[in-house]
Amino acid sequence: MLLIKNTLVSLDLIERFFVCDLDSCLGQCCIDGDAGAPLLESEKEAIDSHLEAILPMLNPSARKIVEEEGSSYIDEEGDLVTQIVGGRDCVFTTYAEGGKCLCALEKAYREGKLPQLKPSSCHLYPVRLKPCGDLTAVNLHRWKICKSAEILGRSKGVRAYEFLKEPLVRKFGKEWYEELCETAAEWLRQKEK
Q: Are strands 127-132 and 135-140 parallel, antiparallel or unpaired?
A: antiparallel
Claim to verify: residue 118 and residue 192 sit in the same structural domain: no
pLDDT at 24 over 90: no
Rounded Cα gap, residues 39 and 75, in angstroms = 11
User: 184, 11 in Cβ contact below 8 A?
Assistant: no
At 50-107, the pLDDT tens digits run 998 999 989 999 999 999 999 999 998 899 999 998 888 889 988 888 888 888 998 8
CA–CA distance, 62 with 85 (Å, rounded to integer): 6
How many folded domains does the chain comprise?
2
pLDDT per position as a tens digit, 133-180: 999 999 998 888 889 999 999 999 999 999 999 999 999 999 999 999
> What is the identity of the amino acid at 171?
K
Strands 135-140 and 7-9: parallel
Q: Are residues 79 and 133 in the same domain?
A: no
Domain boundary among 125, 159, 175: 125
pTM beyond 0.75: yes
